Chain A
Amino acid sequence: MFLTRLKTGKIISGAESGILGAAFLLILLFALASDSFLTQYNLFNLTRTQSLYVFVALSQAVMLATGNMNLSVGAIAGLTAVIFGVCVDTLELAWPLALLIALGTALFCGAFNGFVMTVLGVNSFIVSLSTLFIFTGFVYGISEGYSYRNIPADFVRIGRGNFLGLPYLFYLMVGTLAAVWYMFRYTVFGRQVLATGSNLEAAKLSGINTDRIIMGANLLSAFFAGVGGLLWVSRLGSAQPAIGQNWLIISFAVAIIGGTALAGGRITAIGLFGGGLIMVLIKNGLILVQANVYFEQAFLGSIILLTILLDRAREIWSHKARKS
């Protein structure tokens, strides 16, 4: 248990060491199987994709932690990317200003989701399923399917540059995960998010303003989605309307493999780091073993299912262990 462990002083929980251990095994496996795996170029690429995956997963994990979900994270990312593209390419605004406008759009989307969930009391699945289509509609309505290619070089450097052989994005991910770790370990907001996800009624009767918490989680989710979308633009060097289209499966897969509880109340920064790594290794590995890429989604779906089954088994096992 996340909260339990924090105070016992152990840095890494059993679940987290399991995730990191699995990632390490995969690295070992691929390193032995392929000479090209441990090359500088491959490692740069791996960590860069891992970083992007972690942002995608964070956008889902903060919602899962409250016991809700956000199916529209990919659409928010796509919209953020397109708005950024319009600002820098069509309107020729300075990119920092464009960045603020784009993130503002993402936050607006998150606030809209949050408003319908809390004030109107609609289930998060329904809300975000609807907004997934609404936001996607705007993505294609605004861009008409075309990419914005005129992206400032300074901005592109964020997604392509490196420091000491590791991509900038990697440092950005580590910094963000540290902030997330701090938030859920120390801050009232983070702890109230977990309490809300663990038992909504008890959280209300304990004086937690659960509507405010769920609204906050929606804003945070949209913020991470927006940042993820922009980082994708930076990496690709163009703002494409297709950004975010494959996020649904990635966001759930990395979050769940990374130890986030589907039912709410549990999230771990270290686990998400490991989850992102496992995801990218599996994708990389599928290419290495020359698996048919057209089947990729079937593999990923199976891995999500397997992770959930393992988690279920662990729960039943620890329940039995406690009883005896």
Chain B
Amino acid sequence: MSPIAPIAFSRTAAPRVPLLALDTVWFQVAGTLCNLTCHHCFVSCSPTNHAHEIMDRREVRRYLDEAASLGANDTYFTGGEPFLNREILEILEDALRFGPTTVLTNATLITPSRAGALSAMERSSRYSLEIRVSLDGLTPETNDPIRGEGCFDATMAGVRELANVGLSPILTVAQTWGDDEDRSLREGFHEFLRSNGLDHPRVKILPLFRIGREASRTRGYAAEEFLTEEHMRGHDPWTLQCSTSRMVTSRGVYVCPILIDSPDALMGKTLAETLRPFPLSHGACHTCWATGASCRN
């Protein structure tokens, strides 16, 4: 058990997941700043949350160089809302020179000129640029209570800008519904995207993490929702994203994109310092283990 793990979670020895390979590097490129204040946000991002600051291009480039020297494969850019970062287009260009790149956005700030720039950089790169757009319902009535008034229309305007320039975003939805409705909702999302001009609709469904604002929207983790060595017996560590990725923010390198509000998840200042096992001591670790979820595409 790591000596910096909080006492509250150390009631039983947490299993440790090895870093099998550093394949993926995430960037909290807009810090915790967001133009929206979604009720289920697991890092409580908002227009006023400065827990993690916006990263500048030079800082990102330093980590991209380090990632390349360590043989990493791909990068992901998130926030907060990445398009609040004024250098985001240049940063994505830098990343695409290195490898496959994904940006996670609410699409409300995708203007025609930004869509055009994204399309141009995608076409000139040998690697895929993936644009993940978050939405939680197919109508303002279902989406906006979670993500905010007017958000549905603003997001769909951004999606149409992307479709206009030939980009096909992946719709990312946090699962706020029950498993019984799952199949029909998934098909509904595909049909919805097609009707909005996307010929190759793609949908990614993420589980809810019961931390940040989500903990007060529904509930936090229960005492039994923590992992022990028993859970990891026979469990393939490759399926846990912390075995192959790390998350960079203005504060340093964290184990994963979910736990950046947990001080004990800060593993070092450089990627090289974080190439070691991590104790799965958080409730969120239980969600990844139980659902097989990965923040990757």
The answer to whether A and B belong to the same complex is no
B residues sitting closer than 8 Å to A (CB atoms) are none
